[in-house]
């Protein structure tokens, strides 16, 4: 079952997800996987369907022409139907001895069901795949005699029985192969448009850590990355900043950590080092944090450090204006803390974006209205009102299932801006009206509307955001 080429191809695919704004950014997870496959002796190719002009038919033609050693596919719950259809179509072009391996949040949360619903998938990898995928591919093709039960996070069928290995998250992130940006040019993406856009353009994305220590009941990030925070060293991240700036011309790096500010000493060291490069070496590149940071981690020293390296905006997860709902969510914050910390952020000169969830299980009309009032009373520059989604594998979803309240879902109906299901005493139509009302009350105030409109830095950015907004309706 060997291969003629000295470096057989590893085909890594993100199926078509063009409806969703967050998948219009660089596929960083596949970038890490590609580098790990390259280090293991394979020739990786990233097929990002729906982006960079790449189409499904291009994948099928490549499969017929090259016969890859493995096809790795990433899958989010909202993309599950499209992923299943893609694999079914792929199967008509792919030799049977080429393994299909699925990974990502959905297979990690529902491995047995995923194997059942996508029978052409030979293996699943739960958690992170940089160590597992190269080893699995070598084992499958007789290039390594390690037994399958030694592959971390592997799930597979063995004589009709589903077998599952323990997850072993890599602890030393610096030991992983760094992203080879040449394999998938980051300049082809719209990272500066995410979360309403960056201040400077062009903007790249990066992660400095994996894992989140918090226990938010609705959040699924721990399923792939775990609760223990693991970090790249500051030196490692500075090398990535330098490459993105000097080789590719980026002027802003948008760090997509689950929570960048969990470790104060790291933040201070990071900002000191980046500021040194900005001043001493003339780096014309700044840091931004478009993903929510936990309010409890913020103090004057951290905010001053972030300000010194060009951070201009902070996104914070508030979720609710009700102390009862915040407690049910295990947010570990209160409405009083929100007011105190957001005022501190504003006093330090940052713009502030608040993240809110409407329709949380058991939430009353009065509590939703309180959430809207908090968004307006606290000095937020922007507010994002999202629908409650029972993501598989989250504590609240398991609670709903145990109580017999979890509705049968079509994964393609998962939508951050549209209520397709209700876990309250109200109809989806009422919840949709509450969200529209929240947006109207927040943004149809002269100062807020002007701030929103003037954030657009180009006609291209405005067209992109408008197009994506229309796709959500």
Strands 70-74 vs 100-103: parallel, antiparallel or unpaired: parallel
Domain count, the chain: 2
Does 463 have pLDDT greater than 80?
A: no
Q: Is the pLDDT of residue 4 over 70?
A: no
Same domain, 141 and 212: no
Weakest mean pLDDT among 10-19, 207-216, 355-364: 10-19
Count Cα neighbours of 389 within 13 Å in the Cβ-side half-sphere.
Answer: 20
More confident of the two residues 240 and 195: 240
What tens digit of pLDDT does each residue of 389-421 get? 999 999 999 999 999 999 888 888 888 888 999
Reported confidence tier of residue 366, pLDDT bands at 50, 70, 90: very high
Between 403 and 455, the higher pLDDT residue = 403
241 with 383, same domain: the answer is yes
DSSP 301-313: HHHHHHHHTT--E
The confidence score (pLDDT) of residue 2 equals: 40
Bond into 202 cis (ω within 30): yes
Tell whether 176 is covered by a domain.
no
**Predicted local distance difference test score (pLDDT) of residue 191:** 53
Least confident piece of the model among 138-142, 192-196, 224-228, 444-448? 192-196
Give the count of beta carbons closer than 10 Å to the beta carbon of residue 409.
15
Residue 236, Cβ density class (10 Å: 0-12 exposed, 13-18 middle, ≥19 buried): middle
In a domain, 63, yes or no: yes
**Contact between 70 and 96 (Cβ < 8 Å):** no
- Does 263 map to a domain? yes
Q: What is the pLDDT of residues 103-141, one digit of tens each?
A: 999 999 999 999 999 999 999 999 999 999 999 999 999
Q: Model confidence over 319-340: pLDDT tens digits?
A: 999 999 999 999 999 999 999 9
pLDDT at position 226 over 70? yes
Of 199 and 173, more confident = 173
In the chain, what percentage of residues exceed pLDDT 90?
79
Q: How much is the pLDDT for 468?
A: 56
Query: Residue 174 falls within a domain, yes or no?
Result: no
Strand 313-319 relative to strand 351-358, pairing: parallel
**Whether 130 contacts 33, CB under 8 Å:** yes
Is the model more confident about 457 or about 126? 126
For residues 199 and 312, the answer to whether their CB atoms sit within 8 Å is yes
Residues counted in the chain:
473
Per-residue pLDDT at 203 exceeds 80: yes
Q: Are residues 249 and 361 in the same domain?
A: yes
The residue that leads in pLDDT, 420 or 374, is 374
- pLDDT of the residue at 272: 98
Q: What pLDDT, on the 0 to 100 scale, is given for residue 302? A: 98
Confidence of residue 1 (pLDDT cuts 50, 70, 90): very low
| Residue environment code for 4-34, b if the CB has 16+ CB neighbours within 10 A, otherwise e | eeeebbbbbbbbbbebbbebbbbbbbbbbbb
Asked if residue 280 and residue 412 are part of one domain, the reply reads yes
DSSP tag of 246: I
Beta bridge partners of 287: 253
pLDDT over 80 at 190, yes or no: no
Residues 146 and 222 in one domain: no
Asked if pLDDT for residue 279 goes beyond 90, the answer is yes
Percent above pLDDT 70 for the chain: 90
Two tokens at 182?
């040449």
126 with 213, same domain? Answer: no
DSSP label of 160: T
280 and 414 together in one domain: yes
Structural domain includes residue 203: yes
Q: Of 132, 164, 196, which marks where a domain is finished?
A: 164
Does the structure show a pLDDT above 80 at 462?
A: no
| Residue among 134, 118, 154 at smallest CA distance from 70 | 134
Full residue range of the structural domain in which residue 416 is found: 182-472
Last residue of a domain, one of 137, 164, 191: 164
Same domain, yes or no: 236 and 147? no
More confident site: 119 or 188: 119
Residue 73's SS3 state is strand
Residue 428: what are its φ and ψ, rounded to 5°? Answer: -65, -35
In a domain, 1, yes or no: no
- In this structure, are 240 and 154 located in the same domain? no
CA 196 to chain centre: 16
pLDDT at 85: 95
The answer on 226 and 146 residing in a single domain is no
Condensed to tens digits (0 to 9), the pLDDT of residues 11-56 reads: 999 987 545 444 468 899 999 999 999 999 999 999 998 776 678 9
Task: Read off the pLDDT of each residue in 438-463 and give the average, rounded to a whole number.
Answer: 76
Distance CA 300, CA 306 (A): 10
Q: Classify residue 3: in a domain, yes or no.
A: no
- What CATH number has the domain bearing residue 446? 3.80.30.20
Lowest mean pLDDT among 193-207, 243-257, 342-356, 381-395: 193-207
Residue 403 in any domain: the answer is yes
Non-local CB neighbours of 454 within 8 Å, separated by 6+ positions: none
Q: Are residues 131 and 17 in the same domain?
A: yes
194 — pLDDT class (breaks 50, 70, 90): low
Residue pLDDT, tens place only, 247-272: 999 999 999 999 999 999 999 999 99
| Domain C-terminal end among 164, 197, 217 | 164
Instruction: Give the CA count within 13 Å in the CB-facing half-sphere of 291.
Output: 18
Secondary-structure percent of the chain, ordered helix, strand, coil, rounded to 5: 45, 15, 40
CA distance 160 to 158: 5
Note whether 231 and 277 are same-domain residues: yes
In this prediction the pTM is 0.91
What is the phi/psi pair of residue 332, to 5°?
A: 65, 30
Q: What is the CATH number of the domain that holds 132?
A: 3.40.50.280
């Amino acid at each position: 079952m060997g291969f003629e080429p000295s470096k057989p191809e590893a085909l890594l695919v993100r199926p078509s997800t063009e409806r969703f704004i967050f998948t219009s950014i660089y596929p960083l997870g596949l970038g890490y996987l590609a580098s790990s496959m390259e280090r293991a002796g394979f020739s990786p190719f990233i097929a990002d369907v729906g982006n960079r002009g790449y189409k499904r038919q291009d994948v099928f033609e490549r499969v017929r022409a090259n016969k890859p050693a493995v096809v790795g596919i990433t899958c989010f719950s909202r993309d599950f139907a499209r992923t299943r259809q893609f694999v079914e179509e792929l199967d008509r072009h792919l030799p049977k001895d080429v393994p299909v391996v699925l990974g990502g949040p959905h297979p990690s949360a529902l491995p047995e069901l995923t194997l059942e619903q996508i029978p052409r998938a030979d293996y699943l990898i739960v958690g992170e795949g940089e160590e597992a995928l190269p080893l699995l591919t070598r084992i499958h093709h007789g290039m390594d005699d390690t037994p399958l039960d030694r592959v971390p996070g592997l799930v597979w069928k063995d004589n009709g029985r589903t077998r599952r290995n323990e997850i072993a998250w890599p602890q030393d992130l610096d030991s992983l192969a760094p992203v080879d940006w040449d394999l998938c040019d980051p300049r082809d993406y719209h990272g500066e448009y995410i979360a309403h856009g960056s201040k400077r353009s062009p903007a790249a994305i990066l992660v400095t850590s994996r894992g989140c220590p918090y226990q938010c009941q609705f959040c699924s990030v721990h399923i792939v990355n775990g609760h223990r925070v693991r970090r790249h060293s500051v030196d490692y991240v500075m090398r990535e900043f330098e490459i993105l700036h000097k080789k590719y011309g980026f002027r802003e790096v948008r760090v997509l950590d689950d929570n960048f500010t969990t470790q104060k000493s790291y933040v201070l060291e990071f900002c000191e080092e980046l500021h040194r490069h900005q001043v001493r070496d003339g780096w014309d590149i700044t840091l931004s944090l478009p993903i929510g940071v936990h309010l409890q981690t913020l103090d004057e020293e951290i905010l001053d450090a972030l300000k010194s390296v060009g951070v201009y905006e902070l996104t914070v997860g508030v979720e609710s204006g009700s102390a009862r709902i915040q407690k049910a969510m295990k947010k570990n914050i209160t409405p009083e803390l929100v007011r105190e910390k957001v005022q501190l952020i504003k006093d330090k000169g940052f713009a502030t974006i608040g993240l809110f969830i409407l329709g949380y299980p058991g939430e009353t009309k009065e509590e939703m209205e309180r959430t809207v009032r908090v968004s307006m009373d606290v000095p937020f520059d922007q507010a994002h009102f999202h629908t409650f989604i029972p993501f598989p594998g989250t504590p609240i979803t398991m609670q709903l299932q145990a109580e017999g309240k979890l509705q049968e879902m079509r994964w393609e109906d998962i939508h951050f801006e549209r209520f397709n299901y209700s876990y309250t005493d109200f109809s989806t139509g009422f919840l949709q009206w509450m969200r529209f009302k929240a947006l109207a009350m927040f943004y149809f105030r002269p100062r807020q509307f002007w701030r929103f409109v003037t954030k657009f830095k180009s006609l291209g950015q405005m067209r992109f955001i408008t197009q994506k907004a229309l796709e959500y309706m």
